[in-house]
C-alpha cells in the first residue's frame, strides 16, 4: 500500500524528533492524531497550540530563536496565508531557519470548498526572500527532502499533497532531472504532476524535465537542457505562471518562449473530489494534454 | 542638589537619539521598567548577549525604542556614541529594533502582536532544554494588546504552565479601547496579575522579580495619561 505524504510527513518528523534533540514540532490541531508517538517521546518539543495559526508560526520561530530546528505544520491556507506576516517577519525578516510543512494544497480536500483551498500558497511564500520551496512528488521524496533540509538553517516551505507521482527521484534542493528528450519543446513537471505530465506527453516530441525544488530553482540545469530557441512549458500544481519568473531568469541569455499549465487564477466554487477539481480545471491527464498541445500549436 | 543617578545618564543618552518624536511617549513610558529590568532583574551579560544562560527580553511593541537603546547602551551592549546616529543611514538603530543589527536585541519587532508568541516559543524552548533558571520577559503596550494574535498566546501560555514567562504591559492608556480592568481579564485566562505604578521602581522591581511556580505572570505598569 502506498504511503500518503501526510502520513510520511508525520513519520519522518517523528523519527527526526526521536533522533535529534534539537527538533521541535509545532502543530495547530491538524494532524495531531498522526503525531501521537512524537508527543509521547518528546512532549516538551512537540506542541499542539490549538487553533491559533499566528501563534503556531510565532511559537515555531521562538523555538528557532533558541536554536531548535522547528517544524510547523497545518493545512496550507492556515500555514502560509492566514499567518503570512508571521512567516514573513518572525522567520523571514529575522533570518531564522525552519520548516513550514503543509498539507492540502492546492485543493486536496476538495469537498471543503474555497476556504480550505490554497493554489496561491507557493506564490505567496516566494515573496519572502531567501526562502526555499520544495514540492515533493511522492512520500519517498518528501522523506528525502525533509531529512536533507530540516537542519540546514534555511526557511523551507515543504508542500505535501494527496496526489502522488508513480516514481521517486533522488530529489534534492536545487536539483532538476531530465526525464526524457524531445525536440519541439521542453515541458517542466513540478512535484506530484510528473506522472500525469508523462502520460499527457505520450506521442509528443517534447523533452520532459522534473523538479521538486521550486526555490532554489536549478537554473543551470534548465539552461543546459534546452536548445537555442526554446519553448518551455511549466506544468505546475499551483496557480499558473508561478514558476515562470524562475524559468525566464534561467534562460535570459536566449530568446525563449514560455507557457504554463497550472491551476487557473480564479476562485474555485465547486465541491467534489480532488480528481473532479482536476478535471474541471484542466489539471487531469486529458486537460494537461489539451493545454500542452495548445501551447505547442501557438509555438 | 540631588545626586546624579544612572537613570539620569540614561535620560541623557535618550536625548541623543532624536528624530522619532512621534513615539516619545511610547518610549518614556517604558523607561523605568526597562531600567529596573536591565539594572536589577534580568541576568544578561552585555559582553555575551547570546549566552545560553541569559534571561531573554523581547520588546514586543518595538515602537519608541530610544529608551530601550539608551538602557542597552548604558549597560554596555554597544557604544553610547552609536545613539547619536539613531535613524541615520548606516546606523543600526532604527525606529524598530533589529536582532541582527543591535547587540542585546532578542527579536526584531515593530509590527504589533508578534513578540508574545515568540516569547511563548522561547519559553517552551528553554523548558525543552531543561533550563530552569532562565526566564523570558516580553513587553507589550496596552494598545498593542488590541491585536488578536496576543490573545491566542494569552490563552496558550497558562495552558502550557509557562512559569518562566512574564508579560510586562506598559499601560500608558494609549489604546482607543480601554484594556482594563487587567486583573479579571488576564486572571480569567489563568495569569497571575500584578498592577503597579509604572514609574515606581521599587514596585516594578518587586513585581518583576516575582516568579510564580504555577503560572505565567503579568505585570501591568500603569502610566496615567499625561505622565509619560
Residue-wise pLDDT for A90-145, tens only, equals: 999 999 999 999 999 999 999 999 999 999 999 999 999 999 999 999 999 999 99
Confirm or reject contact between B162 and chain A (CB < 8 A): no
The three cell numbers locating residue B148:
488578536
Q: What are residue A67's phi and psi, to 5 degrees? A: 95, 5
Residue A13 has pLDDT above 70, yes or no: yes
**Is the ipTM value over 0.85, yes or no?**
yes
Sort out which chain B residues have CB atoms less than 8 A from A94's CB and list them: 99-100, 107-108
Residue A29 has pLDDT above 60, yes or no: yes
Instruction: Give the containing element (helix H, strand E) for B79.
Output: none
Q: What's the pLDDT tens digit per position in B6-46? A: 899 999 999 999 998 888 899 999 999 999 999 999 999 99
Please tell me the predicted confidence (pLDDT) of residue A229: 83
Per DSSP, what are the bridge partners of residue A48?
A27
Q: Do A67 and B128 touch (CB under 8 A)?
A: no
- Where b means 16+ CB within 10 Å and e means fewer, A251-273 reads beeeebebbbbbbeeeebeeeee
Sort out which chain A residues have CB atoms less than 8 A from B131's CB and list them: none
The CA-to-CA distance between both ends of chain A, in Å, stands at 42
Q: Do A86 and B152 touch (CB under 8 A)?
A: no
Distance CA A95, CA B224 (A): 38
Residue A1 banded pLDDT, cuts 50, 70, 90: confident
Distance CA A56, CA A72 (A): 7
Binding-site residues on chain A for chain B (CB distance < 8 A): 24, 26, 42, 44-45, 47, 49-50, 52, 54-55, 57-68, 70, 85-86, 89-90, 93-95
Separation in Å, CA B70 to CA B21, B49, B112, B223: 15, 16, 22, 20
Indicate if the alpha-carbon torsion angle A151, A3, A187, A259 is positive or negative.
negative
Enumerate residues 6+ apart whose C-beta is below 8 A from A15.
Answer: none
8 Å CB contact between A176 and A134 = no
Residue A180 has pLDDT above 70, yes or no: yes
Q: Report angle CA B98, A100, A278 to the nearest 5 degrees.
A: 135
Distance CA A50, CA A78 (A): 12
Entry pTM: 0.97
Percentage of chain A lying above the pLDDT 90 cut: 97
Closest in A50, A59, A95 to B121, CB measured: A59
Stretches where chain B sits below pLDDT 50 are 1
Please tell me the predicted confidence (pLDDT) of residue B3: 61
Peptide bond before residue B181 is cis, with ω within 30 degrees of 0: yes
Please tell me the predicted confidence (pLDDT) of residue A80: 97
Confirm or reject contact between B12 and chain A (CB < 8 A): no
Please tell me the predicted confidence (pLDDT) of residue A152: 98
Indicate if the alpha-carbon torsion angle B87, B93, B95, B98 is positive or negative.
positive
Q: Which of B152, B218, B156 is nearest to B182 (CA)?
A: B218
Distance CA A114, CA A109 (A): 10
| Test the A interface: residue of B56, B107, B116, B118 with most A CBs within 10 Å | B118
Distance CA B146, CA B159 (A): 21
Helices (H) and strands (E) in chain A, counts: 12, 12
Q: Do B107 and A65 touch (CB under 8 A)?
A: yes
Q: Do A58 and B160 touch (CB under 8 A)?
A: no
Confirm or reject contact between B123 and chain A (CB < 8 A): yes
Averaged pLDDT, A171-175: 97
Indicate if the alpha-carbon torsion angle A14, A102, A128, A133 is positive or negative.
positive
Please tell me the predicted confidence (pLDDT) of residue A228: 84
8 Å CB contact between A284 and A266 = no
Q: What's the pLDDT tens digit per position in A53-98? A: 999 999 999 999 999 999 999 999 999 999 999 999 999 999 999 9
Q: Do A65 and B118 touch (CB under 8 A)?
A: yes
Averaged pLDDT, A3-30: 98
Instruction: For chain B, give the longest Cα–Cα distance.
Output: 52
| Test the A interface: residue of B124, B132, B159 with most A CBs within 10 Å | B124
Per DSSP, what are the bridge partners of residue B192?
B217
| Test the A interface: residue of B52, B115, B128, B157 with most A CBs within 10 Å | B128
Structure letter (DSSP) for residue A120? T
Residue of B nearest to A60 (CA): B121
Our CA-based measurement puts residue B117 at a distance from the nearest CA of chain A, in whole angstroms, of: 5
Please tell me the predicted confidence (pLDDT) of residue A250: 97
Q: What are residue B197's phi and psi, to 5 degrees? A: -70, 120
SS3 string of B83-108?
A: HHHCCCCCCCCCCCCCCCCCCCCCCC
Distance CA B216, CA B159 (A): 10
Please tell me the predicted confidence (pLDDT) of residue A101: 98
Q: What are residue A286's phi and psi, to 5 degrees? A: -65, -40
Residue B208 half-sphere exposure toward CB, CA atoms < 13 A: 31
Averaged pLDDT, A171-180: 98
Alpha helices in chain A (DSSP H): 5-19, 36-41, 53-65, 76, 84-85, 121-125, 139-149, 194-200, 219-225, 244-250, 274-281, 285-298
Distance CA B145, CA B136 (A): 18
8 Å CB contact between B25 and B105 = no
Residue with cell 522619532: B20
Residue A47 half-sphere exposure toward CB, CA atoms < 13 A: 33
Q: Do A94 and B114 touch (CB under 8 A)?
A: no
Distance CA B73, CA B70 (A): 5
Distance CA B35, CA B7 (A): 7
Q: Which of B57, B128, B158, B123 is nearest to A62 (CA)?
A: B123
- Strand A257-263: give its sheet, edge to edge: A176-180, A206-211, A185-190, A231-239, A257-263
Q: Cα A121 to chain center, whole Å? A: 9
| Test the B interface: residue of A38, A47, A66, A78 with most B CBs within 10 Å | A66
Per DSSP, what are the bridge partners of residue A190?
A211
Amino acid at each position: 500500500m502506498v504511503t500518503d505524504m501526510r502520513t510520511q510527513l508525520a513519520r519522518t518528523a517523528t523519527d527526526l524528533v526521536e533522533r535529534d534533540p534539537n527538533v521541535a514540532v509545532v502543530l495547530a490541531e491538524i494532524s495531531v492524531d498522526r503525531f501521537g508517538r512524537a508527543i509521547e517521546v518528546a512532549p516538551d518539543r512537540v506542541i499542539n497550540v490549538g487553533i491559533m495559526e499566528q501563534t503556531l508560526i510565532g511559537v515555531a520561530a521562538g523555538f528557532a530563536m533558541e536554536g531548535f530546528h522547528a517544524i510547523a505544520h497545518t493545512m496550507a491556507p492556515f500555514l502560509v496565508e492566514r499567518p503570512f506576516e508571521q512567516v514573513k517577519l518572525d522567520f523571514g525578516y529575522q533570518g531564522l531557519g525552519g520548516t513550514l510543512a503543509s498539507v492540502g494544497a492546492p485543493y486536496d480536500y476538495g469537498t471543503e470548498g474555497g476556504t480550505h483551498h490554497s493554489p496561491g500558497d507557493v506564490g505567496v511564500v516566494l515573496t519572502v526572500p531567501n526562502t526555499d520551496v520544495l514540492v515533493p512528488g511522492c512520500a519517498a521524496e518528501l522523506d528525502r527532502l525533509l531529512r536533507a533540509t530540516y537542519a540546514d538553517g534555511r526557511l523551507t516551505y515543504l508542500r505535501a499533497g494527496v496526489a502522488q507521482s508513480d516514481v521517486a527521484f533522488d530529489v534534492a534542493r536545487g536539483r532538476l532531472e531530465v526525464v526524457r528528450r524531445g525536440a519541439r519543446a521542453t515541458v517542466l513537471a513540478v512535484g506530484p504532476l510528473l506522472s500525469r505530465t508523462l502520460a499527457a506527453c505520450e506521442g509528443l516530441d517534447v523533452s520532459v524535465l522534473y523538479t521538486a525544488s521550486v526555490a532554489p530553482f536549478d537554473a543551470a540545469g534548465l539552461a543546459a537542457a534546452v536548445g537555442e530557441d526554446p519553448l518551455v512549458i511549466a506544468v505546475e500544481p499551483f496557480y499558473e505562471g508561478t514558476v515562470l519568473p524562475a524559468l525566464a531568469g534561467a534562460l535570459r541569455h536566449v530568446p525563449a518562449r514560455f507557457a504554463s499549465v497550472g491551476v487557473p487564477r480564479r476562485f474555485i466554487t465547486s465541491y467534489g473530489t480532488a480528481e473532479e477539481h482536476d478535471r474541471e480545471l484542466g489539471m487531469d491527464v486529458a486537460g494537461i494534454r489539451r493545454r500542452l498541445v495548445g501551447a505547442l500549436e501557438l509555438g | 542638589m540631588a545626586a546624579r543617578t544612572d537613570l539620569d545618564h540614561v535620560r541623557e543618552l535618550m536625548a541623543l537619539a532624536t528624530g522619532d518624536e512621534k513615539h516619545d511617549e511610547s518610549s518614556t513610558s517604558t523607561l523605568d521598567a526597562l531600567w529596573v529590568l536591565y539594572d536589577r532583574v534580568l541576568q544578561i551579560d552585555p559582553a555575551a548577549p547570546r549566552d545560553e544562560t541569559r534571561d531573554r527580553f523581547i520588546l514586543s511593541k518595538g515602537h519608541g525604542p530610544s529608551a530601550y537603546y539608551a538602557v542597552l547602551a548604558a549597560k554596555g551592549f554597544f557604544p553610547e556614541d552609536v545613539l547619536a546616529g539613531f535613524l541615520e543611514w548606516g546606523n543600526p538603530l532604527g525606529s524598530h529594533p533589529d536582532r541582527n543589527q543591535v547587540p542585546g536585541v532578542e527579536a526584531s519587532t515593530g509590527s504589533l502582536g508578534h513578540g508574545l508568541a515568540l516569547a511563548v516559543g522561547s519559553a517552551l524552548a528553554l523548558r525543552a532544554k531543561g533550563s530552569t533558571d532562565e526566564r523570558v520577559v516580553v513587553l507589550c503596550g496596552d494598545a498593542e494588546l488590541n491585536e488578536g494574535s496576543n490573545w491566542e498566546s494569552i490563552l496558550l501560555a497558562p495552558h502550557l504552565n509557562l512559569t518562566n514567562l512574564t508579560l510586562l504591559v506598559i499601560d500608558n492608556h494609549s489604546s482607543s479601547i480601554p484594556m482594563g480592568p487587567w486583573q479579571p481579564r488576564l486572571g480569567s485566562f489563568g495569569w497571575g496579575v500584578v498592577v503597579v505604578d509604572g514609574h515606581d521602581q521599587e514596585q516594578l522591581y518587586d513585581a518583576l522579580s516575582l516568579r510564580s511556580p504555577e503560572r505565567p505572570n503579568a505585570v501591568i505598569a500603569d502610566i496615567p495619561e499625561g505622565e509619560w
